[in-house]
Amino acid sequence: MRILAVDDDEMILDLLAASLGAAGFADLAIAASAREALDLIAAADRPFDCFLLDIQMPEMDGIELCRAIRRLPAYRSAPVVMITAMSQRSFIDRAFAAGATDYVTKPFDPMELGTRVGLAARLVEGQRALAEKSDAVTSLQLQLERERFVDLNEPISIQDVDSVIDLQALENYVLQLSRGGLFATSIFAFKIVGVETIYSVSSPIDFRYLLTDVAEACSTALAQHEHFIAYAGNGVYVCVVHGRGALDLEVIEGTANLVVEEMALTNSRGKPMAVKVRAGSPVRVGLVRAGRGAVDALRVAIANAEQDGPRGDGGKWGESWGQFRLA
Amino acid sequence: MTAATWADEAAQSGDGPARLAVRLAELRLRFLDTIELRLAELGAWCDLLGSPEADAIDRRAGLDGIRYGAHKTLGLAATLGYESLGAAAGRVELALDGHLRGGPEAPALPDLLTLTELMLDEMARALTEAGR
C-alpha cells in the first residue's frame, strides 16, 4: 500500500515512518506541507492508496488538504487518516466533513497507528477488489451487449437449435449438393411478420432470444422432414427441405405459429411479445444446375418471404419458377 | 536517512518492533535536543507576556509562540515516554485556544502563564532525568 504522510514536523514524520515500517508498510512518501503533498500527488506515476494528514500546518491545513485530495477523481474514496494533537470535536467534525475516513490523535501509540493504517489497508484492498469486480462486470456487460447486438439485417448465428446453421454454412451446404440431391429439395423461407416493429421495441438481447425461439419453432414445424434452416437477417429464416412430396406450407406455417404461441414469448421485462411467422413461396430446385444455381435459389426464397404480400390464388403458395429463373 | 527510507528498512527487516524501539530511542534523544531549545524559547515568550511593557503585538506573538511550542511538544512527548510533559503541553494548548477565543469563561493570561510554567517545569525535569 502506497502511503503519503504529511506533517510540518520532521520528527513526527520520522515517528510515522518508524511506526509504519514496524507495521510492515514500506511504501511511504512524506511531505512537510500541503503544497508539497499536492505536488507529490500531481507528479505520482502511480496513485497513493492512503493518506496520513496532520491537521495543523501553516498555510493550507490538513483539512483543506483533505478537501483538495477529495476533489481529485482518483482519490474520491482513498482512505485519509487525520493525525491531530487536537481532540476537540470541531476539528474532527470538520475533518470528516472534508472527507477524512479516520483520525488518530497525537500522542499516538506507534503500534496503534500501524493497526489503524492496517484498517485503512483493508479498506483499500476491499475497494480494489470491488473495483476489479466492477471492471470485470462492466467488461462482461459490454462484451455481452457487443455479442448480443443484432442488426436487423444481419444474418446472425443462432446457437443450440437443431438443424439451424449459419447462412454461410447453408450456402456451402447447398453448393455441394449434387443435381440428384437437389432434385428432391425445396427451399422456402419464413419471415417474422412485422419484424421491423418488433426489432424497434426490443432490446438486443430480447431480439436475439426471439430469433432463437422462432428458429426453434420453425425447426419444430419441419420436424417431419430432413431440413436445414439458416437465419438470413431481417426476420427471415431460409429453409432447405428434402423430400419428394410437395410441402404443405399451410400446415408447416400453422405448426410454426402454434409452437410460437405455446412458447408464450415475453421480453426481459415480462411483457408478452406477439409474434407470428409467415412462409414465403417455395422454390423447387430440382431442375436447376448444381452449384451456384442452388445458392441463387436460396436468395429467391428469401426474396419471396420478404415480399410478405398476398399469397397465390386462393391463398395458396405457388412455386416461384419465374422468379428463380430471373435470379 | 529519510523517514521514507526508515519505513522501508523497518518493513524489509521483518523485525518491526525491535527496529521501532531503536528508532524511538533515537527520536527521544532528538526530542530532548528540541526540548532544550524550546525551553529557552518558551521562557522568553513567558517573560515577554509578563512584561508590563508588552504591547498587543508582542502579546499576540508571545501567545502564538507558546501555542506552537505546546502543540509540537504535545505531538511527540507522550509517544516518546514523557507522558506528564505531554499532558502539561495539552493543558497549555487547550487553555490558550480558549484564551484566544475569548468569552467570559476564557482562561486569563496569568492562568495561562502558570500552565506554561508547569509545562516548562516538566521539560526541565525531562532534561534533568536524561542527565542534561
What does the pLDDT profile of chain B (132 residues) look like in tens digits? 566 665 666 556 656 678 888 889 999 999 999 999 999 999 999 999 988 888 989 989 999 999 999 999 998 999 899 999 999 999 999 899 889 888 888 889 999 999 999 999 999 999 999 998
Cβ-based contacts of B100 with chain A (< 8 Å): none
Contact B74, A106 (CB under 8 A): yes
> Average pLDDT over chain A, rounded to whole?
82
Of B11, B27, B30, the CB nearest to A25: B11
Q: CB-hemisphere CA count at 13 Å for A234?
A: 11
Of A16, A108, A111, the CB nearest to B3: A16
Has residue B1 been placed in a domain?
no
Q: pLDDT value at position A327?
A: 29
pLDDT in tens, A94-122: 888 888 888 888 888 888 888 888 877 77
Cβ-based contacts of A109 with chain B (< 8 Å): 79
DSSP 8-state code for residue B124: H
Cβ-based contacts of A88 with chain B (< 8 Å): 97
Strands A236-242 and A226-233: antiparallel
Has residue B10 been placed in a domain?
no
CATH architecture of the domain formed by A164-326: 2-Layer Sandwich (3.30)
Average pLDDT over residues A167-181: 73
Lookup: cell for A158? 443462432
Smallest CA–CA distance from B15 into chain A, residue: A22
Strands A226-233 and A164-165: parallel
- Residues A248-258 as b/e (b if ≥16 CB within 10 A, e otherwise) read ebeebbebbbe
Q: pLDDT value at position B13?
A: 61
Radius of gyration of chain A (CA): 35
pLDDT in tens, A12-56: 999 999 888 888 888 999 999 999 999 999 999 999 999 999 998
Radius of gyration of chain B (CA): 17
Closest CA to A164 of A177, A155, A153: A155
* CATH value at residue B47: 1.20.120
The complex scores an ipTM of 0.83
Domain spans of chain A, in order of start: 3-145, 164-326
Of A11, A27, A109, the CB nearest to B27: A11
* Segments forming the whole domain that contains residue B38: 15-129
* B19/A18 touch (CB, cutoff 8 Å), yes or no: yes
Q: pLDDT value at position A179?
A: 64
Lookup: cell for B128? 534533568
* B79/A108 touch (CB, cutoff 8 Å), yes or no: yes
Has residue B4 been placed in a domain?
no
DSSP 8-state code for residue B2: -
Has residue B69 been placed in a domain?
yes
Say how many domains are in chain B: 1
Cβ-based contacts of A29 with chain B (< 8 Å): 4
CATH topology classification for A3-145: Rossmann fold (3.40.50)
Q: What is the DSSP string of B43-108?
A: HHHHHHHH-TT--HHHHHHHHHHHHHHHHHHHHHTTTTT-HHHHHHHHHHHHHHHHHHH-STTSPP
Compare B78 and A125 and report the one with higher pLDDT. Answer: B78
Has residue B64 been placed in a domain?
yes
Distances (CA, A) of A164 to A134, A214, A237, A256: 36, 11, 9, 15
Lookup: cell for A148? 448480443
* B4/A14 touch (CB, cutoff 8 Å), yes or no: no
* B7/A18 touch (CB, cutoff 8 Å), yes or no: yes
Mutation test of the interface with chain A: which of B5, B19, B20, B119, choosing the one with the most A Cβ atoms within 10 A?
B20
Q: pLDDT value at position A325?
A: 37
pLDDT over 60 at A310, yes or no? no
* B78/A107 touch (CB, cutoff 8 Å), yes or no: yes
Strands A185-192 and A164-165: unpaired
Q: Which residues 6+ apart lie within 8 Å of A161 measured at CB?
A: A212, A215, A216, A219, A229
Cβ-based contacts of B16 with chain A (< 8 Å): 21-24
Distance separating alpha carbons of residues A318 and A320, to the nearest angstrom? 6
Of B23, B93, B97, the CB nearest to A18: B23
Average pLDDT over residues A259-274: 87
Distance separating alpha carbons of residues B37 and A37, to the nearest angstrom? 28
Lookup: cell for A169? 454454412
Average pLDDT over residues A283-296: 71
Has residue B9 been placed in a domain?
no
Rounded to the nearest 10°, the torsion over CA B5, B10, B13, B17 is: 170
